[in-house]
Chain A
Amino acid sequence: MRSAEDGFGGPQSITTDVCIIGAGPVGLFAVFECGLLKLKCHLVDVLPRPGGQLSEIYPKKPIFDIPGYPSILAQELVDNLMVQIAPFKPGFTLGERVEQLKKQPDGRFKIITQKGTEIQAGAVAIAAGLGCFEPRKPDIPDIQIFEGKGLEYMVSDPEKFRDGDVVIAGGGDSALDWAIQLSAVAHSLTLVHRSATFRAAAHSVETARQLESQGRMRIIVNAQLHKLLGNGHLEAVEIRHNDGRIETLQANVCLPLFGLSPKLGPIAHWGFDIQNNQIPVDTEKFQTSVPGIFAIGDINTYPGKLKLILCGFHEAALMAQAAFKYIKPQEHLSFKYTTVTGIQGL
């Protein structure tokens, strides 16, 4: 797998036939359908591994409506798809969000990620599902002033918080896990949670309570973040107890960890029509309002649309035919069964 972080020396430039944005089940299967037509694919996903929702949110859940599989675990389906598409040697750029998608004067496309990776493609298939999963932000006035200045929504490197006065808000697994980890490096650590009970894994709650009794963590329940204070950088956090009391905590780091929420993100600005956070397509080509840009899977909409993996697979097959005709208008496209021709890898 290739990514800009693999040490190839900074942002890369990649050329492919079809750039697939989103490496969920439908994006992965699109590689197969394109591969049968000898179209080379490159996938980009904001998540660090392929599989989309299936791997990220419900890997252990059984799926019952994949034809031929009475029951298959979500992660197993992803693993199988990876095997199925391997002969077509798709490229991957993972952990990067596509920021820009531009149609070139020659009808080809340029895709640029937030890390600067550039992909040149003959056609684009957007298989972005629900969009990008982004951190939920609490409703605090002027919160954006402190973003990156003491306020973070994710922990990338715990060392960054060494000797800091850290306030974590939230009661789920990530809030508890990071509170436990950061309590080992921070000067002080306070965990603020809205209710009195934690729904995080029981052993995490137990560990946190132990750290609290050892004086290495303070846990404040029935309270919420109220205000951020500081001049240019976070200096203190005001919390509001559910009984109305306001308390000020000295803090140079505040981490609101309220989980991830799907957002359409940059997709909304790529120049094709969007309706209610979905991309309208036709049901012959699954093409957006911009020729050469297709949308398949949960992200698209059309009369009768069902958000099912199997429908996404069907859409991928028809999209591949249309993408072929877009990229190679002069060439004849013949339809062949895999039972007749087998799989010829790329």
Chain B
Amino acid sequence: MTVVDRQGASRSLEVPLGISLNLMELLKAEGFPVEGLCGGMAMCATCHIEVLEGLEKLGAQTEAELNMLDTLPKVYPASRLACQIPLSPALEGVVVRLAETE
């Protein structure tokens, strides 16, 4: 998958499988400036991303994620919370962009 950081630079990532991590945890581990303050409970939106390619591959959103996204001042039609996206082979070819921090 590919990640575009807040400066606009893109980097491709190997997605580790067979380990139950979510995308927020992967982004943190890879050194991206993603805080993930709430630890993956869809409570803080510090892992807000915009999916540039492959949104349809990422599966349905939970109520908690939709509720959190709905409270944010600025969202995109393809906004997601990275912590709600489990790592899986579906991420092959997906492109995401880190949303602006508040």
A261-B44, A261-B45, A262-B44 known; A172 and B71 CB under 8 Å?
A: yes
User: Contacts A130-B44, A199-B67, A261-B44 given: A277-B73 contact, CB under 8 Å?
Assistant: no
Q: Is the pair A57, B43 in contact by a Cβ cutoff of 8 Å?
A: yes
Shortest beta-carbon distance, A220 to chain B, in Å? 16
Min CB distance B63 to A, Å, is 8
Cβ–Cβ contact B71 & A139, under 8 A:
no
Q: Bits for B66-88, please: 1 = Cβ < 8 Å to A, else 0.
A: 11101111110000000000000
What 1/0 flags go to A171-207 for Cβ under 8 Å of B?
A: 1100000000000000000000011000100000000
Identify whether the interface residues of A are mostly helix, strand, loop, or mixed: loop
- Interface positions of A from 234 to 266, Cβ below 8 Å from B: 256, 258-259, 261-262
Which residues of the partner chain B approach A195 to less than 8 Å between Cβ atoms? Answer: 70
Is the pair A199, B70 in contact by a Cβ cutoff of 8 Å? Answer: yes
User: Which single residue of chain A is at the shortest CB-CB distance from B69?
Assistant: A199
- Determine which of A53, A58, A139 lies in contact with B73 in the assembled complex, contact meaning CB atoms within 8 Å: A139
B74 touches A139 (CB 8 A): yes
Partner of B70, one of A53, A171, A276: A171
- B37 surroundings in chain A (CB, below 8 A): 130-131, 262, 277
* With A136-B102, A277-B35 as contacts: A172 and B73 at CB distance below 8 Å: no
Within A24-67, the residues touching B (CB, 8 Å) are: 53, 57-58
CB of A177, distance to nearest CB on chain B (Å): 13
B window 18-66: CB within 8 A of A: 35, 37-39, 41, 43-46, 66
Which residues of the other chain, B, contact A131 by a CB distance below 8 angstroms? 37
Residues of A within 8 A of B70 (CB): 171-172, 195, 199
Residue of chain A at shortest CB distance from B38: A130
Dominant secondary structure of chain B at its interface with chain A: loop
Q: Is A307 an interface residue (CB 8 A)?
A: yes
A138 touches B74 (CB 8 A): yes
Contact present for B35 and A258 (CB under 8 Å): no
Flag if B38 contacts A258 (CB, 8 Å). Answer: no
Chain A nearest CB: distance from B74 CB in Å? 6
Instruction: Give residues of chain A (278-327) contacting chain B, Cβ–Cβ below 8 Å.
Output: 298, 307
Asked if A164 CB lies within 8 Å of chain B CBs, one says no
What is the CA–CA distance of A172 and B73 in the complex, to the nearest angstrom?
Answer: 11
Q: Does A22 have its Cβ within 8 Å of any Cβ on chain B?
A: no
Are A138 and B35 interface neighbours, CB within 8 A? no
Any chain B CB within 8 A of the CB of A2? no
A172-B67, A199-B66, A199-B67 are contacts. A262–B38 as well, Cβ < 8 Å? yes
Closest Cβ–Cβ distance, residue B72 to chain A (whole Å) = 6
Interface pair A276/B74, CB less than 8 Å apart: no
A136 proximity list for chain B (CB < 8 A): 71-73, 102
Q: A137-B73, A139-B74, A262-B38 are in contact. List 6 more A-B contacts (CB 8 A).
A: A171-B70, A172-B71, A199-B67, A258-B73, A259-B68, A261-B45
10 CB < 8 A contacts A-B: A58-B41, A136-B73, A136-B102, A137-B102, A172-B71, A199-B66, A259-B68, A259-B72, A276-B35, A298-B39
> B residues engaging A (CB < 8 A)?
35, 37-39, 41, 43-46, 66-68, 70-75, 100, 102
Residues of A at under 8 Å CB distance from B? Answer: 53, 57-58, 130-131, 136-139, 170-172, 194-195, 199, 256, 258-259, 261-262, 276-277, 298, 307
The 5 A-B residue pairs with the shortest CB-CB distance in the complex, in nearest-first order: A259-B71, A138-B73, A199-B70, A172-B71, A258-B73
